[in-house]
Copies of this chain bind each other. A is one copy, B any other.
Amino acid sequence: MALIVQKFGGTSVGSVERIANVAARVARFRERGDDVVVVVSAMSGETNRLLALGRDVAGQGEPAPREMDALVATGEQVASALLAIALGVRGVPARSLLGHQIRLRTDAAHTKARIRTIDDEPLREVLDAGQVAVVAGFQGIDEHGNITTLGRGGSDTTAVALAAALAADLCEIYTDVEGVFTTDPRICPSARKVPKISYEEMLELASLGAKVLQIRSVEMAMKHGVKVHVRSSFTDAEGTLVTKEDESLEAIVVAGVALDRDVAKVTLRGVADEPGLAATLFEALADAHVVVDMIIQNVSADGRTDLTFTVSRGDAETARPIAEKALGEQKRGDVIVDASPAKVSIVGLGMRSHAGVAAKMFRLLAVAGINIEAISTSEIKVSCLISEAHGAEAVRALHEGFGLADPA
């Protein structure tokens, strides 16, 4: 008997039949005596339908973020009510719960709010009454009771946050893939499912375009020590356990290879190498809600240097005038935007103690004839910007070169 949080994504609740399958699965856990909190996303396609409706109504204008949140939050509300109905008719008592009902408080940053507090009492009451709590994911309320949403994939974060608040034994994330793979199986047929991965590695993989788990949910799981099991809602196979690193993990140098195609590169050429410009630039980008990924600046030669950063392609044209304005203040240099690169990365805890991993990566890419445009490293990852045309090739070369195709 355990307390388990289970999150089901949009495809898992995408039709009446699939909702029935989810209900049957939840019922099995109840039968063996577990307490179950379920978190659901909107039925697949629903969030996009609602967003399109909101934009249609806004026409040429900009829809108010507060209202877009109130609008799209209905998707999860519908899914949670439907699952509670499906459980009820199977004889499993269940209650749907919305953000305001579990008092899931967030900040007021509409469309990308962050969780501040969760009141576990409403959930405990439901569990104590022998019911399954079916929580609408992705949504919360700010301190004034306005509906907020947590951004794309926010239901993962809801699930992990609830697991943390309830000190749950396990947080299961049911999705349409079987777990975390060493790389994208569509790009590299020899990709393997990883039975176990550390928070740190998962974090790097999540932020590198392996879209299995929302990155903030992994951060939260790591912070609160929530064991996360990523698995398929269509099979009973074990997926990937995301947990604290242990000895068995240490042996693996590179855990996975990730490819991110949604990259635009902005280069400021001839930047005066003096204090303040970088701060001004990145503050202005943050104010414009542009999320900056890599930042690369080399040492200067003649008091001038080049500063490169990457953003998602959708943000490239927002970033350009901001970069130009930053450069404009020094009345020199120019801005080059390149929306064609891809980012290939290797991730692994073992890098910390194994020298030469980065060098081996550069060699493998060189042997494959792939030019590296920029490099950025962290303690457990190395990322290279390359031409998008070579993306798949680079993944295969690295996956094979680091021996990921062989069973660990």
Contacts and interface: CB of A to CB of B under 8 A. Distances in A.
Interface of A: 16, 19-20, 50, 53-54, 56-64, 66-68, 70-71, 73-74, 77-78, 80-82, 84-86, 88-90, 94-96, 98, 100-101, 145-147
Contact of A82 (B54, B62, B101, B145): B54
A59 B23 CA distance: 13
Given A58-B89, A74-B77, 4 more contacts: A61-B90, A67-B84, A71-B77, A100-B145
Contacts of A84: 64, 66-67, 70
Given A80-B70, A95-B66, A86 B57 contact: yes
A67 B88 contact: yes
Contacts of A66: 84, 95-96
A74 to B, nearest CB: 4
Contacts of A57: 16, 19-20, 82, 85-86, 89
B64 A85 contact: yes
Given A19-B57, A74-B78, A85 B100 contact: no
Q: Could you tell me the dominant secondary structure of chain A's interface residues?
A: helix
Nearest to A79: B71
B78 A62 contact: no
A70 B77 contact: yes
A212 to B, nearest CB: 28
Contact of A71 (B20, B78, B101): B78
Contacts of A67: 81-82, 84-85, 88, 95-96
B19 A85 contact: no
Given A78-B50, A101-B145, A86 B58 contact: yes
Nearest to A19: B57
Nearest to A88: B64
A61 B85 CA distance: 9
A16 B80 CA distance: 27
